[in-house]
């Protein structure tokens, strides 16, 4: 068995846009297992936009990623050695193993590792559609937007792991689903594969008026619910088309991840339309994860929830793949394959 663990550390904080120089690949010897411990060989590493916020020291909902430590991240893998009665060699597990090939964990700590069943759901899907991104989409849609059949739900970053789930879940609840994505290829995927009613290529609209008119055309009955991943001009355009008593689930603001200001042009619309605008962090709602995962797992297993993955190969590729994710180069869920 392997005796070396390859890891990627965060070694400096980005001043504006992050670069590969903020990361460092290191090799460390694998320690011996103590009683109660489990060694997991990570198969896939999840790359997600929230990681950009963790790289900075700015005030946020979570502690910054410490320097010179393994970069945070969700992982799925297989138990390769165990001194814990709850985990057997060969068990497939999901956890927060970070940017590394192996993780050594105390198997007695509740919630650190979760066993998963790969009979009907592929292992990688537990980092996407049946993992944190899927649950994020489920929570924002069902708990904040709470759409009724016949309403219109708009989703930004609609071709991504979170946005793609939101639109499909909205369709399953009898809603009109309208996406926003960057580029014709992504928009075609959102409509033809994911089943949205319409998708707007925001790259074709350079100003607020143009984007607002495109939304008017795609949402003839206005907008009742909006799942926000981006911020900036897209949020302004959506608010101009929002109906009275519309709801916005604030999930991400990727337009400002490198410190750019993202002012709102017409905040008075929140009052005029009596809108509900609510931010959320999905890890603060663990009590609802079983309910969400049951719906998501069933939908993936039966082919009703579609998703796509962009997979880069090997631990060394993680920094470049992450930078690409922040620029929208990925299609669907961005993963790193480690085996």
We report the CATH number of the domain holding residue 71 as 3.90.180.10
Proportion of the chain in helix, strand, coil states, percent, rounded to 5 = 30, 25, 40
Residue 61 has pLDDT above 90, yes or no: no
As a whole number of angstroms, the distance between CA 63 and CA 310 comes to 28
Q: Is residue 110 a part of any domain in this protein?
A: yes
- The string of DSSP codes covering 11-57 is -S--SSS--GGGEEEEEEEPPPPPTTEEEEEEEEEE--THHHHHHS-
CATH number for the domain that contains residue 173: 3.40.50.720
Number of domains in the chain: 2
d(CA 154, CA 224): 8
Residue 302 lies inside a defined structural domain of this protein: no
Residues 116 and 136 in one domain: no
- The reported pLDDT for the residue numbered 261 is 86
Reported as a pLDDT band with limits 50, 70 and 90, residue 246 is very high
Please check whether residues 264 and 137 belong to one and the same domain.
Answer: yes
The number of beta carbons lying within 10 Å of the beta carbon of residue 111 is 8
Residue 275 and residue 148 share a domain: yes
Dist CA 48 CA 51 (whole Å): 6
* Residue 297 in domain: no
Specify if 246 maps to a domain.
yes
* Residue in the structure block whose two tokens are 């009590």: 287
How far apart are alpha carbons 135 and 69 in whole angstroms?
A: 27
Query: Does 121 share its domain with 139?
Result: no
Same structural domain, 116 and 144? no
Q: Quote the CA–CA distance of 314 and 86 in Å, as a whole number.
A: 29
151 and 93 inside one domain: no
- Residue 63 pLDDT exceeds 90: no
At 151 the pLDDT is 98
By mean pLDDT, which of 51-55, 241-245, 270-274 is the weakest? 51-55
- Residues 223 and 84 both lie in one domain: no
Residues spanned by the domain of 70? 4-128+307-337
Domain identity same for 37 and 168: no
Is residue 295's pLDDT more than 90?
yes
How far apart (Å, rounded) are the C-alpha atoms in residues 253 and 227? 11
The answer on 148 and 59 residing in a single domain is: no
pLDDT tens for 299-313 read 999 999 999 999 999
pLDDT at 59: 75
pLDDT tens, 104-151? 999 989 889 999 999 999 999 999 999 999 999 999 999 999 999 999
Residue 62: pLDDT over 90 = no
DSSP 191-244: HHTT--SEEEEGGG--SHHHHHHHHHHH-TT-EEEEEESS-THHHHHHHHTEEE
Residue 18 sits at φ, ψ, to 5 deg, of -70, 160
Average pLDDT rounded to a whole number, residues 234-256: 95
The answer to whether residue 148 sits within a structural domain is yes
- Do 12 and 33 belong together in one domain? yes
- Looking at the fold, whether 156 and 124 belong to one and the same domain comes out as no
The count of C-alpha atoms lying within 13 angstroms of the C-alpha of 87, restricted to the half-sphere facing its C-beta, is 33
- The reply to whether 157 and 275 lie within a common domain is yes
Q: Is residue 184 part of a domain?
A: yes
Structure tokens of 14?
């980005």
Asked if the structure places residue 65 within a domain, the reply is yes
The Cα–Cα gap between 275 and 9 comes to: 42
Residue with tokens 């931010």, as numbered in its chain: 279
The predicted-structure confidence for 8-27, as pLDDT tens digits, reads as follows 999 999 988 999 999 999 99
* Residue 301 maps to a domain: no
Instruction: Compute the distance between CA of residue 64 and CA of residue 71 in angstroms, rounded to an integer.
Output: 11
Query: What is the rounded average pLDDT of the residues 325-331?
Result: 90
Exposed / middle / buried, residue 192 (Cβ in 10 Å: 0-12, 13-18, 19+): exposed
């Amino acid at each position: 068995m392997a005796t070396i663990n390859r890891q990627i550390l965060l070694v400096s904080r980005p001043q504006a846009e992050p670069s590969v120089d903020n990361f460092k690949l290191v090799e460390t010897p694998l320690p011996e297992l103590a009683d109660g411990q489990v060694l997991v060989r990570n198969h896939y590493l999840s790359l997600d936009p929230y990681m950009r916020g963790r790289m900075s020291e700015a005030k946020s909902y979570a502690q910054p990623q410490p320097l010179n430590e393994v970069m945070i991240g969700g992982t799925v893998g297989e138990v390769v050695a165990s001194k814990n009665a709850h985990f057997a060699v060969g068990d497939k597990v999901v956890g927060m193993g970070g940017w590394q090939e192996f993780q050594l964990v105390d198997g007695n700590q509740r919630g650190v590792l979760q066993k998963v069943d790969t009979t009907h759901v592929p292992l990688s899907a537990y980092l996407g559609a049946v993992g944190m991104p899927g649950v994020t989409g489920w929570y924002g849609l069902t708990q904040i937007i709470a759409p009724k059949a016949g309403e219109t739900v708009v989703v930004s970053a609609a071709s991504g792991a979170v946005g793609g789930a939101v639109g499909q879940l909205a369709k399953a609840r009898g809603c009109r689903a309208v996406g926003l994505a960057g580029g014709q290829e992504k928009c075609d995927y959102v409509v033809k594969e994911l089943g949205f009613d319409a998708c707007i290529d925001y790259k074709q609209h350079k100003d607020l008026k143009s984007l607002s008119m495109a939304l008017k055309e795609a949402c003839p009955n206005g907008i009742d619910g909006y799942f926000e991943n981006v911020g900036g001009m897209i949020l302004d355009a959506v608010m101009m088309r929002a109906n009275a008593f519309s709801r916005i689930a604030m999930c991400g603001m990727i337009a400002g991840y490198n410190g750019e200001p993202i002012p709102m042009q017409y905040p008075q619309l929140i009052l005029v339309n009596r809108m509900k605008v609510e931010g959320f962090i999905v890890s603060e709602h663990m009590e609802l994860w079983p309910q969400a995962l049951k719906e998501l797992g069933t939908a993936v297993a039966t082919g009703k929830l579609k998703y796509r993955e962009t997979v880069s190969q090997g631990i060394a590729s993680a920094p470049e793949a992450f930078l690409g994710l922040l620029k929208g180069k990925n299609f669907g869920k961005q993963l790193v394959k480690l085996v």
